[in-house]
Amino acid sequence: MNVDIVSPGTYTYGSLVLGGVLKEKGHAVKITRKLESQGDVTLLSLFSTLQLLDPKIRDFVAARENVYVGGPVGLCPEMVLGELDARAVVTGEGEDIVARLVESGPVGVPGVAFRQNGRIEKSHPQPTKSLDHALPLIPDDLCQQNVRGANVYIETHRGCLGSCSFCQVPRFFGRTIRSRSIENIVAEVEEMKRCGISRVAISGGTGSLFGYRNKVNKEAFVQMLRSLSAILGKRNLSVPDMRVDLVDETILKAVRDYTIGWVFFGLESGSDVILKAMRKGVTVEDNHRAIRLAKSLGVRVGGSFIVGYPGESREDFEETMGFAEEAMLDDVFVSIAEPIPGTPLASQILNQPQEELSLFQEHKGEYQALKLSEAEARCFELMLHGESCKPIPRALTNDLYNTYLTEARGQGQDIKKVMTLLGKYREYLP
């Protein structure tokens, strides 16, 4: 069978893995970032809800017979099938079912949804039996891809112990940790290096959960980093995402010694009230403690924050500003609270009157002339503030100011579009 895997704009890791699985089963597989396909079957890998609204993607799907859609959007298959004229949607993990799906169609395959006789039929997803998989299919131009400094993010494990209200990871992959073997990961990275990939990042929610079995398996984590660093060199390996309560001296020393030496903590807020509302499971003091520990060991620390969370008052936001000042982070990412399908936050935002959400309130403070919503203004303000609180601040040029302003506005607009879309499928959201 000729199978084309289309991963619009960015090669997702899942698309590479499915390509490898299908190739091992004897299919002729091509993978592309462009919206083009001549295959008997097309697998479309989506990483964002907004992609469902992209007219080019909609036209691409409508013009073809056998398009199967996969990715986190599969958590709400009614929405995917409502927006795209696809043959079916994969609603869970794809490795164990993809061959059957392309060979015989969706009927009887677990973890898919498709239209039949005017109704949407859904089968229950089953977790992949073993995460050790065939070598991924590596396209020639993967070495030119740059996603936050890496050519590609690889997966070492699935699942998260956390249950943060805004996050899809535990909803899609569960709260039990399943890890790949180090041998399987090493073989994959060796193959990537052979194909010209130089910079690899490890994704998966919290890197230090690799090998977790009832407790953090520090030895496995350190061994995995040491093995990958020996292949790529420490300057080409990163393991950015960490929970602050799942790092200690051993973990952070391994990050320092075997990777580029950065961590990005999901700090989210400087207000304990908001951290609790987010079900983050940590306190502001936990955040400070992890930052101090990392810095004391020579690890550079970036932090991500969420503003405009339902119920976040101006005082809560001021606490976040104060937190950023005290923490003096090397890098700061700010997002406006986004209703990602399948998360408790999505239901909360959709069920709340819009006038109560800061995204729909006019900002009347210092940046009033910019005509931002309150959430956009907080996003913009924290980005500027984070920049000025860096250990070595950059000069605030007009370009930088405008970049942050555009980013904050763009986030606000995108989230409003997503909210309108999710509102159409409110009754189907998990």
Where do contacts with ligand SF4 occur on this chain (CB under 6 A)?
160, 162-164, 167, 169-170, 205-206, 243, 266
Q: Alpha-carbon distance 9 to 13, whole Å?
A: 13
CB closer to ligand SF4, 21 vs 251? 251
Q: Alpha-carbon distance 177 to 169, whole Å?
A: 11
Q: How far is the CB of 418 from ligand SF4 (least distance, A)?
A: 18
CB atoms within 10 A of CB 60: 20
Residue 271, token pair as written in the block: 């207000």
What is the Cβ-side half-sphere exposure of residue 334, based on CA atoms within 13 angstroms?
Answer: 31
Q: Is 31 helix (H, G, I), strand (E, B) or coil?
A: strand
Q: How far is the CB of 213 from ligand SF4 (least distance, A)?
A: 17
CB closer to ligand SF4, 199 vs 243? 243
CB closer to ligand SF4, 163 vs 250? 163
Q: How far is the CB of 166 from ligand SF4 (least distance, A)?
A: 7
Distances (CA, A) of 75 to 374, 408, 420: 30, 27, 17
Q: Is 239 helix (H, G, I), strand (E, B) or coil?
A: coil
Q: How far is the CB of 221 from ligand SF4 (least distance, A)?
A: 16
Q: How far is the CB of 302 from ligand SF4 (least distance, A)?
A: 14
CA of residue 414 relative to chain centroid, distance: 16
Q: How far is the CB of 182 from ligand SF4 (least distance, A)?
A: 21
Q: How far is the CB of 308 from ligand SF4 (least distance, A)?
A: 17
Q: How far is the CB of 280 from ligand SF4 (least distance, A)?
A: 7
The answer to whether the beta carbons of residues 81 and 89 sit under 8 Å apart is yes
CB closer to ligand SF4, 106 vs 240? 240
For tokens 């955040």, what's the residue? 287
CB closer to ligand SF4, 172 vs 380? 172
The answer to whether the beta carbons of residues 16 and 41 sit under 8 Å apart is no
Q: Alpha-carbon distance 207 to 169, whole Å?
A: 13
Beta-strand relationship, 241-242 and 262-268: parallel
CB closer to ligand SF4, 138 vs 169? 169
Residues 6 or more apart in contact with residue 13 via CB below 8 angstroms: 136, 152, 153, 154, 155, 203
CB closer to ligand SF4, 77 vs 162? 162
- What amino acid occupies position 119? R
Q: Alpha-carbon distance 184 to 131, whole Å?
A: 9
For tokens 């660093």, what's the residue? 229
Q: Alpha-carbon distance 32 to 54, whole Å?
A: 17
CB closer to ligand SF4, 112 vs 349? 349
Q: Alpha-carbon distance 254 to 239, whole Å?
A: 10
CB closer to ligand SF4, 151 vs 206? 206
Q: How far is the CB of 158 from ligand SF4 (least distance, A)?
A: 11
